[in-house]
Structure 1
Amino acid sequence: MEERQEHKVLMAREALKKASKDVEINPNSGADDGGGESPSMKALLELETGSEDLFSGDPKLSALSHLLSHLKALASSLRSQSSSNNSGGGGRRGGGYLRLLLRRRFDGRSEISRVAGSIGSEIQSWLDREYADHLIAALRSQSSDDDEKIELLSALETRVSCGFDQGLQDVLLKADVYGAVEAALADKAVAKPVREHAAAAVLALVRFNKAVFVGPVLMGPAVGSIVSIASAATLRVLRGLITHIRSPLVDVLHSDGKIPKLIALLSSGDLEIRAAAFECCLEIGYFGRKEAIEAMMGEGLVKILMELQRSGEFPSSVARFAIQLEVGEGLRQREKRAMKLEVVRRVKEEAITGGEAGTVLTEVLWGSTP
């Protein structure tokens, strides 16, 4: 019952944020020609009416309370101006006064738009704090419903995907949202779908601000947990992390001994997992340093890729990997030449027929040529 009530409160605040946006876009809603307010303006003014009781216990909401009071005063002033305009006043001198009044009215609406935008920002900060607290409480509670956890994690992913926001970052750091998400990801007792959404949230946080969240990813259990879950969803997250963090992330995979696990997933009975693992291998080929590439080779990567290519699942898979090595960022030029020769050697060893060897080697040697 309490959780449902909290959800209703959050939805009400979302509605208020939308109302502030409507007023910001259309400040004419402050007082229309009939002297009334739009539903959006009414919602904000009703919030102001109860603000003393609602905001009294939270000093963080003092700015919102002040803005709502200012909006109420502006709306009242605009109504008064509208009433004065409708009461008439003719003649030239009256016409000049009317033009001045209309100009002042326009300026009042501009101020309403500005204040409404500020109100929307304050409500968003309020929502961010509430969502962060709710998410952490749900993730740390064994009694919380998995669907609720997934919904909250998805909301976090959506929110941080809107772009960088300093206020939001402050909320995330103060509440230690990353720590709660990482703990859920690493906890094997947590349901797999929840852990998958936690992994997606980790990637979203890295995209939100690499400078802040890459360090915790590299130093904590997130990467190992993502590999150990070994689902198509988490492997897609892993690929995204490799793309964004590059060589340092591959270094972690290698030093933590996770590369053999990734290579083994290329032989999974699930096609979606095999495909996601292959994409990860391609990214490692592009960003990985010599030691990581050698580890992949040592796990029989070329042999497995030839088997996949032979089955028709991943055409030109060996050449695609070789091209990643050749054009990538992880290897020095002489290392690229040495690795390409190593791929050629292994292709010759693993080929069943001379024709197969010739076909694959042609792709490897010339596949990167436009």
Structure 2
Amino acid sequence: MDQTPNQDDRQLFTMLKSLQQASKDLQNSSIFATNKPQSAIELFLDLENKANALLSNDPNLFKVSQILCNLKTLVEKLQKYQGYSLLCIFRRQIINYKIYRVACEMETEIQAYFDREDVENLVETLEDSDEYDEDEKVRVLIEFEERLSQGFDLYFQDLILKAKVFSILEFLLCDSSCSTRIRDQVSLAIAALVRFNKDVFVGLVLMGPTVRALISMSSSCSIRVLSLLIQFIRIPLVDELEAYKEIPRIINLLSSENVSIQVGAMDCILGITYYGRSEAIEAMIEAGLVEKLMELQRLETQCQMNGNETNSENGEKSSRKMESDEGDYSENCPFEGCVTRFAVQLEAGEVLSKKEKKEFKLEILRRIRAASVSEAESAAIVAEVLWGSLS
């Protein structure tokens, strides 16, 4: 019975993965003289016999086939020098080194083949809006992100740039007709690209509409990615946010009904505070940040007090519940002390001068007093801010 192309593809994929692993095993057995390479050699020779037919069907694998032949020749030579004379030991060392180099080359070449196939599949899947469904697009985006997380690879970067992958991702991110699920995954892929190589992809992020699209989406994932980009890009991105008047929009997200969006916005605010120039800090304060943080902290405190009262009324059952949730306390109280966190981050910031920090701190204290609902609240938060700044 004839095999379908899908079956052939699966067979080829499995074979290449096995060859890649076998090449790693050969590298290890070649480096460490104390290791017995026989099992690795036997596995490799067994795979080599099965691989020739599959590799010959794909012209893109011609180099892999050549490397395989070279490796087989070296392995056969190694088996001829199994004695303990100085000549045999010397020859084995030379051949082991050659096996290591060729095995490295094979591993790299197979990975390059996988990368070419994956990038082509990524582009085809994302650009075709009819043939591929949402699940498939999300799947290839996740696989792409995982590949980027393995670390920098110049060849893989060249594939990405030649295929214009960033432009495709940027288009999808800005396409409001795309589902939020796809756009969220696209945003994660863009963050992974920046982490992969800041020198290349930071410029593309700053020159395009990526940042503004993330803020416009205002999903918990997009705001989390924005926070990551602020951490990666730092001062240049904060400057862009201030120049395009995006900071007030981030402040407004603190009023979202979705707690995860509020938390993401808070992370962005702390990043802006740390890397922002005086214009960015002024924009946040003028947008009512201190007042919003006061309100969030007040609500947090009230929720904690209500929760404690409820737990006391419910007795032992609630006590057990509190114990089980103790590890999640910080997650359940994300805005506890948020005014102080903002002030401390301002004090620790990289960009502001000491004079600017002092002036902003006085303005923050003034706004805390004005926004407080009681003298007790004002005194408590002012003390926290002053103590936090001194710590």
**Matches of residues 17-166 of structure 1 in structure 2 within 5 Å?**
17-27=20-30, 32=38, 37-48=41-52, 50-55=54-59, 58=60, 61-81=61-81, 96=85, 100-142=87-129, 143-166=131-154
2:239 to 245, 248, 251: 251
- Give me the whole-angstrom Cα distance separating, in 2, the residues matched to 1:7 and 1:242: 41
The aligned amino acid for 1:38 is E
CA contact (8 A) 1:20 1:41 kept: no
Q: TM-score, normalised by structure 2?
A: 0.81
- Give me the whole-angstrom Cα distance separating, in 2, the residues matched to 1:255 and 1:5: 54
Distance change (3 Å), C-alpha of 1:295 and 1:43: same
Distance change (3 Å), C-alpha of 1:219 and 1:6: farther
The aligned amino acid for 2:117 is E
Unaligned runs of at least 5 residues, structure 2:
301-332
Most deviating of 143-152 and 105-114: 105-114
Deviation at 1:43, TM superposition (A): 2.3
User: What is the match of residue 311 of structure 2?
Assistant: none
CA contact (8 A) 2:56 2:62 kept: no
User: What is the match of residue 331 of structure 1?
Assistant: 352
Distance change (3 Å), C-alpha of 1:2 and 1:51: closer
- Give me the whole-angstrom Cα distance separating, in 2, the residues matched to 1:45 and 1:368: 70
CA contact (8 A) 1:21 1:117 kept: yes
Deviation at 1:186, TM superposition (A): 1.8
Unaligned runs of at least 5 residues, structure 1:
86-94
CA contact (8 A) 1:287 1:328 kept: yes
2:368 counterpart of 1:347? yes
The aligned amino acid for 1:125 is A
2:227 counterpart of 1:234? no
- Give me the whole-angstrom Cα distance separating, in 2, the residues matched to 1:15 and 1:299: 58
User: Residues 203-256 of structure 1, C-alpha deviation per residue, up to 9 Å, x if partnerless?
Assistant: 111111111000000011211121122222222211111011112111222233
- Give me the whole-angstrom Cα distance separating, in 2, the residues matched to 1:365 and 1:178: 45
Deviation at 1:10, TM superposition (A): 4.6
- Give me the whole-angstrom Cα distance separating, in 1, the residues matched to 2:71 and 2:365: 72
- Give me the whole-angstrom Cα distance separating, in 2, the residues matched to 1:7 and 1:253: 47
Distance change (3 Å), C-alpha of 1:269 and 1:133: same
2:376 counterpart of 1:365? no
Other structure's SS at 2:384 match: helix
Deviation at 1:17, TM superposition (A): 2.2
Q: TM-score, normalised by structure 1?
A: 0.86
Distance change (3 Å), C-alpha of 1:363 and 1:3: farther
Deviation at 1:51, TM superposition (A): 3.7
- Give me the whole-angstrom Cα distance separating, in 1, the residues matched to 2:228 and 2:248: 19
- Give me the whole-angstrom Cα distance separating, in 2, the residues matched to 1:11 and 1:342: 64
2:223 counterpart of 1:218? no
Deviation at 1:188, TM superposition (A): 1.6
The aligned amino acid for 1:144 is Y
- Give me the whole-angstrom Cα distance separating, in 2, the residues matched to 1:8 and 1:335: 65
The aligned amino acid for 1:359 is A
Root mean square deviation, CA, Å: 2.7
Distance change (3 Å), C-alpha of 1:105 and 1:144: same
Deviation at 1:18, TM superposition (A): 2.3
Most deviating of 171-180 and 349-358: 171-180
CA contact (8 A) 2:227 2:267 kept: yes
Deviation at 1:334, TM superposition (A): 2.2
- Give me the whole-angstrom Cα distance separating, in 1, the residues matched to 2:152 and 2:37: 35
| Residue-pair matches, total | 351
Deviation at 1:357, TM superposition (A): 0.8
Deviation at 1:325, TM superposition (A): 1.3
Deviation at 1:147, TM superposition (A): 2.1
- Give me the whole-angstrom Cα distance separating, in 2, the residues matched to 1:223 and 1:25: 45
Distance change (3 Å), C-alpha of 1:31 and 1:367: closer
CA contact (8 A) 1:242 1:284 kept: yes
- Give me the whole-angstrom Cα distance separating, in 1, the residues matched to 2:167 and 2:48: 35
2:19 counterpart of 1:16? yes
CA contact (8 A) 2:55 2:62 kept: no
CA contact (8 A) 1:19 1:41 kept: no
Calculate percent identity across the aligned residue pairs. Answer: 38
- Give me the whole-angstrom Cα distance separating, in 2, the residues matched to 1:270 and 1:144: 31
